[in-house]
Amino acid sequence: MTRGITGRVVRFGLVGALAISPLLTGVGSAGADQNQPAHFFIIMMENTSYSSLIGNPNAPWINKAASKYGFAKNYYGVSHPSQPNYIAATSGSTNGVTDDNDVTINVRNVVDQLEAHGKSWKAYMQSLSLCNGNKLAHACGNQLYERKHDPFVSYKDVQNNPARMANVVDFGQLTSDINGGAPPEYVWISPDQCHDMHGRAADATDPCAFANVQELIAAG
């Protein structure tokens, strides 16, 4: 028998780095304090506009979540290309990052804030396993994984801290963490370039459709 994260409040944020607005959903037991979620999940998607996604029958879960839970219609990306948005989403500013080149920046970030408040965290990067342990690689697996979509390893105080680097893992580890009953309180998910909607939008025939969101909700 597997154990999920039942009986606790969960917040999901489906965020678009450049064009798509985030969807925030909460699930939990009756009477739970909705202002104090036990877990917060962010799933970073890309380059799919409001008009091509909302109301699209090929994206039924996203549309259901938007109508049932919450939809931040006025949430926009802050820059182009990808990386400045990922940096801004995890540090509150682009911090001078303007392109997708590998960077190392020494700024306060979400990891600092989480740990200062005793909160656990992990960043799950799809296809990171193709880098064979090199978490600072620029790209791996024929560019399925790209560092520009992994903001955590660009922070100096993460790079230089083995315990923090150990929390940047392949996406495949999330299932075992949830089934083991010990998912972190803050979860960041970066789908790889086959699954993040960049250039693919919402297409029911797309073999790379990222369908794990619904499974994660079910596990909780």
The pLDDT score that the predictor gives to residue 40 is 87
Which has the closest alpha carbon to 107: 117, 115, 97, 95?
Answer: 95
Instruction: Work out the average pLDDT over 158-175.
Output: 96
Domain ranges of the chain: 10-219
The pLDDT score that the predictor gives to residue 22 is 37
The pLDDT score that the predictor gives to residue 159 is 98
Confidence of residue 181 (pLDDT cuts 50, 70, 90): confident
148-165 pLDDT tens trace: 999 999 999 999 999 999
The answer on pLDDT for 210 being more than 90 is: no
The span from the first CA to the last CA of the chain, in angstroms, equals 14
- Say how far apart CA 61 and CA 197 lie, in whole Å: 14
101-150 pLDDT tens trace: 999 999 999 999 999 999 999 999 999 999 999 999 999 998 999 999 99
Bridge-based pairing state of the strands 10-16 and 145-146 = unpaired
Q: Is 56 exposed, middle or buried (0-12, 13-18, 19+ CB in 10 A)?
A: middle
**Are the C-beta atoms of residues 168 and 123 closer than 8 Å to each other?**
yes
The answer on pLDDT for 7 being more than 60 is: no
Q: Is the pTM of this model over 0.75?
A: yes
The pLDDT score that the predictor gives to residue 5 is 38
15-64 pLDDT tens trace: 654 333 333 333 343 444 556 788 888 888 887 788 888 888 888 877 88
Bridge partners of 42, per DSSP, are 13, 188
The pLDDT score that the predictor gives to residue 200 is 65
